[in-house]
Amino acid sequence: MSALAKFRVAFPLLVSARLILTQTSFPDALKHDALLSSPLTSYSHLQEGIYLYNLGVNPYSGGVFHHSPLLLSFFTTVLPNSRWAAHLLWTAADAVAAWSLVSIWRSRQKVPESSRDWIVAAAYLLNPYVLLPTLALSSSSLENALALLALMFASRGKASAAIFCLALLLQMSLSSLLLMAPTLLLLLTSPTSQLASPRPFQSEIRKLVPLVAELAAYTASLTLTSAVVAGGCTWMPQTWGVSLTLPDLTPNPGLWWYFFTEMFDHFRPFFLMVFSVHLLIYIAPMCIKFQHDMLYAAFLLIGVLGTFKAYPTISDPGLFLSMHVLFPEIYPYFRHPIVTALLHLHAALLMPMFHHLWLYQGTGNANFFYASTLVFACANGAALIECVWAGLRIAIGPEKEGFSVSQE
């Protein structure tokens, strides 16, 4: 069977299998799982907001609804508010995300198709970190699709489409600011692999000005639309602001919630600033160090988001792990891939077990679950460090002037 035939068979089969899974009782068991949905991405919170909006009540007045007004308007005007329609949309979003990943791979290789296309699609569609949040109808799956769409259009040089997807993503998640710089810079460079032959930035930086202006125009238009839908600006502190102020300390796979549960109120503003700035400090170093390969810089910043985001779900590091398939040239330069994989397996078993022991069995406490999320953070951090190391080490090669990988 040819490579194209494998892709044409595997892709619809995987998407159809996901759609079949949505018709089982499995999604009902997952819809309230704290690992799959956060207060910002929960489908039940979205349903509550839609219900209040249809009654003429401002859903942002209660401090519980944190979704973008664009999602609110979409579910009350375009898409019927039914669970079947929602599952169809989420499955379609995953299909679009997987297709975007394949398209990015083809752009990076400069080929119309390749023998790895079906592997690239399967790396996303079979990733349990991506599959389970989709079954739970977590809107993080929609954010992943928008992120990959933005990178796909940027890889193809389609500036307006990439910038519009990026503006939509910013409306849904303020943390996606991290992807703004590498996506815009990717439009000025080539998506092909330059890791083995790094060189200075090859384009004029002033070409960024019209791109930034277009992003600002799209963002302003979407913000105005959101204000019209929400009947004012009350949605801003309840959507964008929540990622900065952390009002909801519902347990999640991230590092923020337990730290601020134990934090004295007097020190809270300072540490909120520290945690927020900590995310931003990665942008410049990653974009400067990997200026020769902006797609790789975006990949690493997605890994940063998956590790240090305020309200993450396992879908966030899931996107980072799935994107590994785009960079097979770095595999030989990983130092401890087995240890990193086992850390992820360890955390994937510990987190649901300790969460159940704490909140359902009553035989544990918050420290149990937080300890497992620390293991998860270590696994994500280890994967990120592996990729940074490999991205730098590949420029030297396996052997150069007597220096070999085995001697490190």
DSSP state of 161: H
Instruction: Specify the pLDDT at position 8.
Output: 80
Instruction: Specify the pLDDT at position 3.
Output: 64
Domain positions in the chain: 3-326
Residue 51: C-alpha distances to residues 30, 86, 128, 325 (Å): 22, 15, 31, 41
Instruction: Specify the pLDDT at position 196.
Output: 87
Interatomic CA distance for residues 242 and 330, integer angstroms: 37
Instruction: Specify the pLDDT at position 338.
Output: 94
Angle, vertex CA 264, rays to CA 261 and CA 267, nearest 5: 115
Q: What is the identity of the amino acid at 71? A: L
pLDDT in tens, the chain (408 residues): 566 677 888 889 999 998 999 888 888 888 889 899 999 999 999 999 999 988 888 899 888 899 999 998 888 887 777 788 889 999 999 999 999 999 999 999 998 888 889 999 999 999 999 999 999 999 999 999 999 999 999 999 999 999 999 999 999 999 999 999 999 999 999 899 888 888 888 777 888 999 999 999 999 999 999 999 988 888 999 999 999 999 999 999 999 999 999 888 899 999 999 999 999 999 999 999 999 999 999 999 999 999 999 999 999 999 999 999 999 999 999 999 999 999 999 999 999 999 888 988 888 788 889 999 999 999 999 999 999 999 999 988 765 434 443 333
Instruction: Specify the pLDDT at position 82.
Output: 79
Residue 348: C-alpha distances to residues 216, 303, 385 (Å): 39, 17, 20
Instruction: Specify the pLDDT at position 405.
Output: 39
> Are the beta carbons of 186 and 151 closer than 8 angstroms?
yes
**At how many degrees (to 10) do helices 315-322 and 140-156 cross?**
30
Interatomic CA distance for residues 246 and 248, integer angstroms: 6
Torsion-angle region of 157 (φ positive above 0: left; ψ -120 to 50: alpha; else: beta) = left
> Are the beta carbons of 89 and 71 closer than 8 angstroms?
no
Instruction: Give the start-end residues of each E strand in 323-402.
Output: 399-400
Instruction: Specify the pLDDT at position 408.
Output: 36
> Are the beta carbons of 49 and 59 closer than 8 angstroms?
yes
Instruction: Specify the pLDDT at position 25.
Output: 85
Instruction: Specify the pLDDT at position 38.
Output: 92
